[in-house]
Each structure stands twice: as structure tokens, then as C-alpha cells.
């Protein structure tokens, strides 16, 4: 039984067929996929996701081993000297704010959940610095739980292909959940994100070579593809 979109409507079988066609092509292109951030557990993924704002995953992967060697648990980081943490995360940018965020996150985990990461979206978003997107990434990547994280790539790709007409991430998440079976939700975000990075770039989408051209509904694709030829 298909779910409802954000506007209360139910996707038609044609809508679901199109969504399935897009996802099937992504599955062929990216048979297995996961975040490029290195992590060993939910705690580490939460922290590196906070650190990944406004920087590359590679940068985060370079500093994370030092951070977790110095502060293996939320209890350790909650008690950390901010100046020492700032030095460790310096190269990820916005280091003062990020240091504050991860120490507060660690303290929150200790206070609210005895230092263990809750496996529940409503609980996760009560943690400092953890929004719906980060919470969904953790649920999908760590536990393979049915969750769809909507970031800027997912928003752009879903809009251009014609899977949603919404602009609010929570509504886009609802629209995508209405289109796809729950069993596939955990595999949606990372594939949309990778496709957005590889082909459907924000400024320079490669429409002239895009295998999705025929099912894509973005009007500008025709002009862009014409110029590429
Ligand atoms: S045709 Fe262009 S806009 Fe459409 S999905 Fe492909 S790259 Fe993106």
C-alpha cells in the first residue's frame, strides 16, 4: 500500500514506475554504496558527520583517527579541553564551532542516553547539533534502518527528475517515502547523492551524456544537452 505525499496525495502507478526506473538505473550504476566518511560505530558516525559540514570527507577522515584515539567514548569527549580538540579538528574548518558542537553532542549523549546512540529518529534529533538529515544518515548507514536523508544533492536530483515538487527537506523526504518501498529507503540517499556529484551537478549537470535524460523532467536539460553536442 503506497504512502501519501506531503500534500496528502497518493502517487499514481506511473509515478511509482518512473521512480523505480530511476532507482533501478542507480542500482546498476552503484551496486553497493555507503558514506565516504570512515567510522566504526554510530557514535563515530555522528561526530564525523558534524565535522563534515563545509569540508570534504577526505579532510574529516584524516583528523578522525586522532580525535577518537584521544577521546574514544562520548564520556571522554564530554570532558575534553576545547583547546586541545580545536587543534585536532582545525583543518576541517569552522573548528571552534565544530569543537563546541561535538563536545555538546557528547555531553548530551551522556546525559540523555548514558553514552549510547539511540536507534530512533525522534531521540536522535534531541541531541545537540543533530538534525533530521544526520539522524537519517546514521539510521540508514549504521543499522540499515528505513530512513531517507535529504541533503542538497537529494533535493536537487529528486526535483529535476520530477519525483517531488516540494522544496522543504521534510516534505521531500515524505514524497520519496511515498514513492519507494520501505525496504529500499536506506539505499536511496547515498545513490541520489553520488549521482548528483557525478552527473547531475548543481551548476554543470552533464545532461548531454545523462542516461536519465528521457525520464528527467527538468526543462533546462534540453538546452544544456544541446550545447554539449
Ligand atoms: S538530464 Fe540533466 S538534469 Fe536531468 S538528471 Fe540528467 S544531468 Fe540531471
User: So what's the pLDDT on residue 64?
Assistant: 98
CA of 211 to the centre of ligand 1 (A): 8
Angle, helices 82-89 vs 57-70, to 10°: value is 150
User: So what's the pLDDT on residue 227?
Assistant: 80
User: So what's the pLDDT on residue 2?
Assistant: 63
Residues 6+ apart with CB under 8 A from 206: 199, 200, 228
Asked if residues 30 and 24 have their Cβ atoms less than 8 Å apart, the reply is: no
Q: Which residues of the chain have pLDDT under 50?
A: none
User: So what's the pLDDT on residue 19?
Assistant: 98
CA–CA separation, 192 and 26 (whole Å): 8
CA–CA separation, 157 and 129 (whole Å): 26
CA–CA separation, 79 and 73 (whole Å): 10
The protein residue with its alpha carbon nearest to ligand 1, atom 4, reads: 216
Mutational pocket test of ligand 1: of 25, 216, 220, 226, the residue with most ligand atoms within 8 Å of the beta carbon:
216
What architecture is the 13-31+148-228 domain classified under in CATH? Orthogonal Bundle (1.10)
User: So what's the pLDDT on residue 229?
Assistant: 58
Question: Does the beta carbon of 199 lie inside 6 Å of ligand 1?
Answer: yes
pTM: 0.93
CA of 22 to the centre of ligand 1 (A): 11
Virtual torsion, Cα 126, 53, 140, 149, nearest 10 deg: 80
User: So what's the pLDDT on residue 60?
Assistant: 98
User: So what's the pLDDT on residue 226?
Assistant: 86
| CATH class of the 42-116 domain in this structure | mainly alpha
In the chain, ranges of CATH 1.10.1670.10 domains: 13-31+148-228
CA–CA separation, 157 and 216 (whole Å): 9
Question: Does the beta carbon of 206 lie inside 6 Å of ligand 1?
Answer: yes
Amino acid at each position: 500500500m503506497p504512502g501519501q505525499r506531503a500534500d496528502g496525495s497518493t502517487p499514481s502507478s506511473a509515478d511509482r514506475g518512473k521512480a523505480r526506473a530511476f532507482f533501478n538505473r542507480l542500482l546498476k550504476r552503484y551496486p553497493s554504496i555507503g558514506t565516504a566518511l570512515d567510522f566504526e560505530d554510530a557514535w563515530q558516525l555522528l561526530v564525523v558527520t558534524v565535522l563534515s559540514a563545509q569540508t570534504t570527507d577526505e579532510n574529516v577522515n584524516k583528523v578522525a583517527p586522532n580525535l577518537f584515539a584521544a577521546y574514544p567514548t562520548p564520556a571522554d569527549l564530554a570532558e575534553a579541553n576545547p583547546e586541545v580538540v580545536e587543534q585536532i579538528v582545525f583543518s576541517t574548518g569552522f573548528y571552534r564551532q565544530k569543537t563546541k558542537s561535538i563536545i555538546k553532542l557528547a555531553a548530551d549523549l551522556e546525559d540523555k542516553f548514558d553514552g549510547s546512540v539511540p536507534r530512533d529518529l525522534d531521540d536522535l534529533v534531541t541531541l545537540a547539533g543533530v538534525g533530521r538529515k544526520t539522524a537519517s544518515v546514521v539510521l540508514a548507514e549504521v543499522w540499515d534502518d528505513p530512513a531517507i536523508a535529504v541533503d542538497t544533492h537529494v533535493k536537487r536530483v529528486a526535483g529535476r527528475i520530477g519525483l517531488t515538487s516540494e522544496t522543504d527537506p521534510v516534505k521531500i523526504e515524505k514524497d520519496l517515502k511515498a514513492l519507494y518501498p520501505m525496504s529500499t529507503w536506506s539505499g536511496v540517499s547515498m545513490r541520489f547523492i553520488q549521482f548528483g556529484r557525478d552527473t547531475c551537478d548543481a551548476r554543470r549537470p552533464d545532461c548531454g551524456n545523462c542516461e536519465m535524460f528521457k525520464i528527467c523532467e527538468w526543462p533546462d536539460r534540453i538546452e544544456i544537452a544541446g550545447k554539449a553536442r
